[in-house]
Chain A
């Protein structure tokens, strides 16, 4: 460990003078972009699927819809994220004739993938809300959709906020596989620094620290959100 100081000096040199910091900032931006876009798309898809799954199924149409949603969830939970990335980037999108960058594909796949997981989280959240809430909404003449959006889902989200935070954190961490489709995330940035200096110890250490920092910040944000959401509990 005697030359640890030397290694740090080398890292700082590349970081500051050979445009290392540009790469890192770019990587950080891509990582956050992919995770946030994935979460947003995931929440939208997940909420939609969860709602479909709790619709009463007397009629044909909801049943077909429900079957499709089960298939979707099975598909995206049953294959690894890397495989999905590769299939979308090298198979599906080229067949459809779309030209996309690695970052765009990653945002899409992360959204579709987390949609499958969030749908299950959201469903348990919706089922944790007393069924009387939906009934009361219907009884005053609101439609199923409105009762769901205005009454049930806000309460469900409050209940699942910690789990949703978990999902976001794991999305952030999983972004480290997007280099498979050529997207430059944090990992790519620090590999670049490492291979330029033939020295990987410090870059990867810093990378780990940055991941931890991001995750800690997110946990803090979720805690604050939870506090805000809990104002309808018995507190005031």
Chain B
């Protein structure tokens, strides 16, 4: 579903990603591990072009979205993203946060249809009776779109047990609650894949569990996920492939059992020995 071909990213003269090649299939749960500064987050942010890749291709559903002439907004709707610092919209209530993108996209479509109908109507005045162009059918009103999006948002909230928080502002939620809302916000557009950028790094240890549980549930439903994290246990349990990155390249890509029990690259052995001795 996502083909990354020779992806490179420079900041000024500093090369952060030095040519990444990886293929992610539908239903994959890929965890990206690596030391700080290895380019994990940059890699993830290049996948939905939050950072524009300096060169290379990111082919998503057959389209190279690294190409600047592509309308990236359309493709980002198929690609959810969850941030380390949640980034819920502070000026919107919880339910508005979730409804935002679906309502906006559908209303935009509605406006487009209305505009094109106006144009057809105007042009029809000058056309002969036999040549009149039929109008586009508009089946929903803005109110219906909002009502439907709200219902969907409330269903999603019910799923994480926060339906009573629907109409409060994000500032009143705990970190774990915020991150769970952020996750279902990214699901509201029914994306093909969700990118997680260190989703538990800014949380109290106590709240990490609830977020990981939700992510596990998503994984079981077959959602495609790409996760940058430091949670080794989670990687071992949920991932079906683990990538190890260091210094802008992928050094190892293996299923979790092999990754942890038979690491091949010396840098990975070194990394695992340090990390696992702490746990």
Contact = CB atoms under 8 A, between A and B. Distances in A.
Interface residues on A, range: 20 to 34
A233 B91 CA distance: 9
Contacts of B80: 139-140
Interface stretch (B3-11, B69-77, B225-233, B240-248): B69-77
Q: Report whether over half of chain A's contact residues are helix, strand or loop; otherwise say mixed.
A: helix
Contact of A140 (B76, B168, B171): B76
Given A133-B87, A135-B87, A155-B90, A140 B169 contact: no
B189 interface: yes
Nearest to A234: B171
Given A146-B104, A234-B171, A136 B89 contact: yes
B101 A151 contact: no
Interface in B124-182: 168-169, 171-172, 182
A236 B168 contact: yes
Interface string A85-108: 000000000000000000000000
A132 B91 contact: no
B101 to A, nearest CB: 4
Contact of B100 (A138, A143, A150): A150
Question: Which of B81, B87, B88, B101 has the most chain A CB atoms closer than 10 A to its own CB?
Answer: B87
B63 interface: no
A150 B168 CA distance: 18
Interface of A: 58, 130, 132-133, 135-143, 146, 150-151, 154-155, 158, 231-234, 236
Given A132-B85, A141-B105, 12 more contacts: A132-B83, A135-B87, A139-B48, A139-B83, A140-B81, A140-B185, A150-B100, A151-B92, A158-B91, A232-B92, A234-B172, A236-B172
